[in-house]
Structure 1
Amino acid sequence: MSDWRPRLIASDMDGTLLRSDDTVSDATVVELERWRASGVPVVLATGRPPRWMRRIREVLGSGTAVCCNGAVLLDLERFEVVEEDALPPDVLRSITAGLRREQPGTWFAVEYGLEFRHEPVYQPRWDVDAPGVAEAPLEEIVAAPAAKLLARHEDMDRDSFVALVQQVVGDLATVTTSSSDALAEISAPGVTKATGLARVAATHGLGPEDVVFFGDMPNDVAAFDWVREGGGRAVAMAQAHPEVLAAATDVTGTNDDDGVAAFLASL
């Protein structure tokens, strides 16, 4: 694949495109713009909700972002939701009730595109006082369709908790994680970064064989599998989770060493 060049560049954000200080380096911006100028679209694929995309929009400007692990497609230029695959209220009620029975110390929050609601006991780590963020009782949280359900436990370790959530949820939804904490991210059945990327690629007349995708956490594995099995390049950051490293076709430097820019420059 020495002469292979991507026709679409896709990247996770946290731990991948973004450095530890939550910024994108000038070198990375220059490299992405170089590819864009040659007609290669750049797509962000993140667990972040749309409301967390305003700052990256100021840096990259335009394009489509795959948000909420594939549940939401966001037009960055217009800052409008293009598509959304939501969890319906009956499924939200079933999952939260089952998890609360199995592990009473589980607390919940939901992403509704630009809005975020969490139980009073749930301890959000970011955006505590941001616009659109509010406390609400569980019965209110699950009363409307949600792009992503978050389940958190303050005492269990991450892998044990996520495994428990997967067992309880079964085929009602898709479960993944992108956090170092015991936080499970729950989306509609079959919805992953892979499905979101596939929809965006199709709008450009492209398939997985045309894509290079960069990632670092378990919520990137589905997209890695889609790209790798289709003949594209799935590139793990040097500090990536072991599951990501195992699914990769290539490994680049860390996010703090501008690994994305370095790999793209090598092509």
Structure 2
Amino acid sequence: MSDWKPRLIASDMDGTLLRSDDTVGEATVAEVARWRAEGVPFVLATGRPPRWMHRIRDVLGTGTAVCCNGAVLLDLEPMQILHEEPLRPEALRDITDALRERQPTMWFAVEYGWEFRHEPVYRPRWDVNVPGVAVATLEEMTAAPAAKLLARSESMTPDAFVELIEEVVGARATVTHSSTDALAEISAPGVTKATGLATVAARHGVGPEDVVVFGDMPNDIAAFEWVRDGGGRAVAMAHAHPDLLAVATDVTGGNDEDGVGAFLASL
């Protein structure tokens, strides 16, 4: 594949495109601009909600972002939501009831895209005392469709917690994780970064064989498999989770070494 070139570039943000200080390296910014000048779209594929995309918009300016692990498609330039695949209220209630019965000491929060609600005992690691974030009861949180349900444990190990969530949820929803904490991310059935990217790629007339995707955590696995199985390039960061490295076609440098930019420069 030495002469292979992508027709669409997709990248995760945290731990991948972004350095540890939450910036994008100059070399990577230059590479993205170079490929865009050749007509190659650059698409973000992230677990972040739309309300966390303002700073990256200042860097990239335009483009489409696959947010909330595939549940939301966002047009960065006007900051407009193009499409949503939310968890319905009945599903939210069914899942949270089953999880709370199995493990009473887990706590919930929900992403609505522009808003975030969490139970009083749920301890957010970010978004403290900012607009759009508020405490709510579980009944209130599950009364409206949500882009993503979050379940957190302060007592279980991350791997054991995610395994428990997957066991209880089953086929009722899609479970993934992208944190070193005991935090599970739950989306509507079948919704992943892969489904979001496939939708965006189709709008550009591009198939997985012409996509390169970058990532570092298990919530990137579905996108990696979609691209890899279709003949494209699935590029893991050097520090990536072992489960993601296992499905990668390539490995690049770490996020603090501008691994995304370096790989793009090699094509």
Shorter chain as denominator, the TM-score bin is over 0.9
In 2, Cα distance between the equivalents of 1:202 and 1:69? 18
> 1:252 maps to which residue?
252
- For residues 55-101 of structure 1, the C-alpha deviation after alignment (integer angstroms, 9 at most, x for no partner) is 00000000000000000000000101000000001110011111111
- For residues 206-261 of structure 1, the C-alpha deviation after alignment (integer angstroms, 9 at most, x for no partner) is 00001000000000000000000000000000000001100000000000110000
> 1:143 maps to which residue?
143
In 2, Cα distance between the equivalents of 1:21 and 1:123? 23
In 2, Cα distance between the equivalents of 1:131 and 1:80? 18
> 1:90 maps to which residue?
90
> 1:173 maps to which residue?
173
What is the identity, as a one-letter code, of the residue corresponding to 2:176? T
In 1, Cα distance between the equivalents of 2:196 and 2:243? 20
Matches within 5 A, 1:203-218: 203-218=203-218
What is the identity, as a one-letter code, of the residue corresponding to 1:252? T
In 2, Cα distance between the equivalents of 1:12 and 1:258? 13
In 2, Cα distance between the equivalents of 1:21 and 1:78? 26
> 1:48 maps to which residue?
48
What is the identity, as a one-letter code, of the residue corresponding to 1:74? L
What is the identity, as a one-letter code, of the residue corresponding to 2:42? V
TM-score (norm 2): 1.00
> 1:263 maps to which residue?
263
Query: Could you tell me the percent identity over the aligned residues?
Result: 76
> 2:191 maps to which residue?
191
Instruction: Give the SS at the match of 2:246.
Output: helix
Matches within 5 A, 1:233-252: 233-252=233-252
> 1:61 maps to which residue?
61
Q: CA deviation at 1:155?
A: 1.0
What are the ranges of 5 or more consecutive residues in structure 1 without an aligned counterpart?
Answer: none
In 2, Cα distance between the equivalents of 1:68 and 1:46? 6
In 2, Cα distance between the equivalents of 1:22 and 1:156? 28
What are the ranges of 5 or more consecutive residues in structure 2 without an aligned counterpart?
Answer: none
TM-score (norm 1): 1.00
What is the identity, as a one-letter code, of the residue corresponding to 2:17? L
What is the identity, as a one-letter code, of the residue corresponding to 1:80? Q
What is the identity, as a one-letter code, of the residue corresponding to 1:90? E
In 1, Cα distance between the equivalents of 2:125 and 2:80? 26
